[in-house]
Amino acid sequence: MSGCLYVVATPIGNLEDVTRRAVNVLSSVAIIAAEDTRRTATLLAHCGVGGAKLVALHDHNETRVGQSLLAALRAGRDVALVSDAGTPLVSDPGFELVRDCWAEQIPVVPVPGASAVSAAISVCPLPVGRYRFEGFLPAKAQARQLRLEALCAAPEASVFFEAPHRIESSLKALSALAPARRLMIGRELTKTHEHLLCGTADELLGTLREKHAIRGEFVCVLEANRDPDPGHPSPEVERALRALVKELPPSKAARLAAEMYGGSRSDYYDRAVALTAADKPPKPRGRDG
């Protein structure tokens, strides 16, 4: 009989948020695979858990360490996978191990608990009936700009993480792309200096600077695109439609726009045709013209 891989959620800040089931599982397994063994050791000490072997599993050693964990699981030893904070595999390492366990029919059991995504959504004053999760935005400015353009165009709310040294740049980019769009940001959720703010990107940037609160990791919830008239799109939608017609025929560009923003293809087709015509160079005039 093989062992079992438990994917265990841990607190995102406040150690009191650990669940009783998580403590029981961490107390019973032979090995705990942790993204940062120092942070996990602090949690284990808080919970009075000892006895399990603590192993580091992160982006730089996942393949090598994952194989040794698989060997332990094959031998019948139970393993718990934890991340620095929150639910593993939500922008955290561990996917290879979970995938390999499935491939070898080794049981994989979720032990749910804290998540920065669900925590932010639960207190968000914006409609989040449907949302997309982006994880951390790209570190490079151009790639980050492209992702933000896509999020601004999305017909559902978007949830993403941002680092303190990039939050200003991201808010400035959002202000240029969609100045009236609202978003909620949560800083240091569940921790002593937890901060929740909602407003436009410009408003939030001003408040963060005023309160000297550009520290800690941020969870951001961006309001869905609510373009009122697809035939006369907002500047952010117009920008995306212009990019589409440069690469695609009007019909395909209109179909993709409808998928991104909602509505039907016909809502965008006339505008796509007009943009295509505007991009074409004028025909050369004849001698008599």
23 & 12 share domain: yes
* Number of separate domains in the chain: 3
In a domain, residue 288? The reply is no
Q: What is the pLDDT of residue 269?
A: 83
32 & 66 share domain: yes
Q: Is residue 280 over pLDDT 70?
A: no
Domain-ending residue, one of 201, 222, 243: 222
- Count of other CB atoms within 10 angstroms of residue 59: 9
Confidence category of residue 271, pLDDT binned at 50, 70, 90: confident
In a domain, residue 230? The reply is no
- Residue 154 backbone zone (phi > 0: left; psi -120 to 50: alpha; other: beta): beta
- For residue 84, the domain's CATH number is 3.40.1010.10
Instruction: Tell which residue, 51, 52, 119, has the closest CA to residue 85.
Output: 119
33 & 133 share domain: no
92 & 128 share domain: no
Distance CA 128, CA 208 (A): 24
Mean pLDDT for 130-141 is: 92
In a domain, residue 173? The reply is yes
184 & 148 share domain: yes
Confidence category of residue 111, pLDDT binned at 50, 70, 90: very high
Amino acid at 213: A
Q: What is the pLDDT of residue 41?
A: 96
65 & 134 share domain: no
Encode pLDDT of 61-101 as tens digits. Answer: 999 999 999 999 999 999 999 999 999 998 888 999 999 99
Domain-ending residue, one of 87, 114, 141: 114
Confidence category of residue 15, pLDDT binned at 50, 70, 90: very high
Confidence category of residue 256, pLDDT binned at 50, 70, 90: confident
Instruction: Tell which residue, 193, 187, 190, has the closest CA to residue 217.
Output: 187
In a domain, residue 196? The reply is yes
31 & 18 share domain: yes
More confident residue, 108 or 150: 108
- Count of other CB atoms within 10 angstroms of residue 38: 10
Longest dimension (CA), the chain: 94
Structure tokens at 225: 């695109």
Q: From residue 269, how far is each of 149, 227, 254, 273 by CA, in Å?
A: 21, 16, 5, 6
213, 171 Cβ separation under 8 angstroms? no
108 & 122 share domain: no
200 & 255 share domain: no
Q: What is the pLDDT of residue 289?
A: 47
Distance CA 263, CA 5 (A): 44
59 & 123 share domain: no
Question: Which pTM was predicted?
Answer: 0.76
- For residue 151, the domain's CATH number is 3.30.950.10
106 & 43 share domain: yes
Q: From residue 76, how far is each of 1, 107, 163 by CA, in Å?
A: 6, 11, 40
Domain-ending residue, one of 114, 133, 155: 114
Distance CA 120, CA 123 (A): 6
In a domain, residue 184? The reply is yes
Encode pLDDT of 29-60 as tens digits. Answer: 999 999 999 999 999 999 999 989 999 999 89
Q: Is residue 28 over pLDDT 90?
A: yes
Distance CA 27, CA 18 (A): 13
Q: Is residue 284 over pLDDT 80?
A: no
Q: Is residue 288 over pLDDT 90?
A: no
Mean pLDDT for 215-237 is: 75
Q: What is the pLDDT of residue 270?
A: 81
Q: What is the pLDDT of residue 215?
A: 80
In a domain, residue 287? The reply is no
More confident residue, 136 or 235: 136
Q: What is the DSSP letter of 282?
A: P
For residue 273, the enclosing domain spans 235-279
Q: Is residue 216 over pLDDT 60?
A: yes
Burial class (CB in 10 A: 0-12, 13-18, 19+), 8: buried
Amino acid at 238: E
Q: Is residue 244 over pLDDT 50?
A: yes
In a domain, residue 284? The reply is no
In a domain, residue 94? The reply is yes
